[in-house]
Structure 1
Amino acid sequence: MASKTLLIVAHAPSPNTKKLAQAAYDGANHPDIDINVVLKSPQDTQPEDVLAADALLLGTTENLAYMAGLTKDFFDRCYYPVLEEKQGMPFALYIRAGHDGTGTKLAMKTITTGLRWQWIQEALILQGDWQEAFTEQVEELAMTLAAGLEAGIY
């Protein structure tokens, strides 16, 4: 039985961002990787979900050069309840950005620095017009995080 849990918190307000959330879930659930994978929307994610996770993959849209409001709400509700318990938690991020994603990435760096979460790689910024390759990139990111978690790398 899988002993580690990857929590995917994905803001998916459109058909394309729903594809990204599904790609993250599929990548983390690769048949060769034995971990528990939980996919939730930001508004449905509670501090208990974060506390039960061994790693977190966050997906958000870029809204007005910042993270989505529901993603910010997730952090507003979960930040202090998980602060002491989840320091060092492996973390990855993908941003669906109509512009360049830098404001969103900076905000995420600030929040996760405060939480002391461990970034496994630089933020994946999916910018500009929609490309089908975005789903492959998110799937690969989730697979990388899941495999590293299972192997005990993070």
Structure 2
Amino acid sequence: MAAKTLLIVAHAPSPNTEKLAQAAYKGANHPDIDIKVIIKSPQDTQPEDVLAADALLLGTTENLAYMAGLTKDFFDRCYYPVLEEKQGLPFALYIRAGQDGTGTKRAMKTITTGLRWSWIQEALILQGEWQDDFTEQVETLAMTLAAGLEAGIY
């Protein structure tokens, strides 16, 4: 049986958000977990990438109390092409939020409810000033999603 695929779509416009993307990739690629991991930026992710994925981890920044424009662009391009075929897709989200992240989380809930994706846990909101443990939190989130995907939990 072919390994399942986890798609990580990570908006990483700064050195710190790049650290988060790399932490997600590292967590999903834990040596004890046998899945295929693909990481892409939102602007490079196409509907075909989502259609080929068995689960999706999305990372975005919060901009003006909303998701990043490139993250919104990802959904604008991919929403209808994947709507019917990817219902139930296991999904997790981390938000790098300078404020409280609630606007971004609310928008993501609306979009993913329309897509009928299955959240594996509440959104991880990395709030306020940069903290070094943000990378550990994202790594753990990615590892959890990857392990559950491999085990067939989702």
Give the structure-2-normalised TM-score: 0.99
Aligned to 2:134: 134
SS in 1 for 2:87: coil
| Matches of 1:117 and 1:151, distance apart in 2 | 19
Task: Quote the offset at 1:40 in angstroms.
Answer: 0.1
Give the total of aligned pairs: 154
Q: Is the 8 A contact 1:62 1:68 kept in 2?
A: yes
Instruction: Calculate the aligned-residue CA RMSD, in Å.
Output: 0.7
Deviation at 1:3, TM superposition (A): 1.5
Q: Secondary structure at the match of 1:6?
A: strand
SS in 1 for 2:31: coil
Deviations 1:45-98 (A, max 9, x none): 000000000000000000000000000000000000000000000000000000
Partner of residue 99, structure 1? 99
CA contact (8 A) 1:97 1:126 kept: yes
SS at match of 1:23: helix
Identity of aligned residues (%): 91
Distance 1:2 1:32 in 2: 16
Cα distance between partner residues in 1 of 2:151 and 2:49: 22
Q: Secondary structure at the match of 2:12?
A: coil
C-alpha distance after superposition, 1:104-142 (max 9, x if no partner): 000000000000000000000000000000000000000
1:2 shift after superposition: 5.1
3-state secondary structure, aligned to 1:53: coil
Query: For the residues of structure 2 that align with 1:9 and 1:38, how far apart are their CA atoms?
Result: 8
Q: Return closer, same or farther for 1:34/1:131 CA change in 2, 3 Å cut-off.
A: same
1:94 and 1:128 mapped to 2: Cα distance? 14
Q: Please tell me whether the aligned partners of residues 62 and 104 of structure 1 are also in contact (alpha carbons under 8 angstroms).
A: yes
**Under a length normalisation based on structure 1, what TM-score does the superposition of the two structures give?**
0.99
User: Which ranges of structure 2 fall in alignment gaps of 5 or more residues?
Assistant: none
d(CA) in 2 for partners of 1:36 and 1:49? 13
Structure 1 unaligned residues grouped into runs of 5+: none
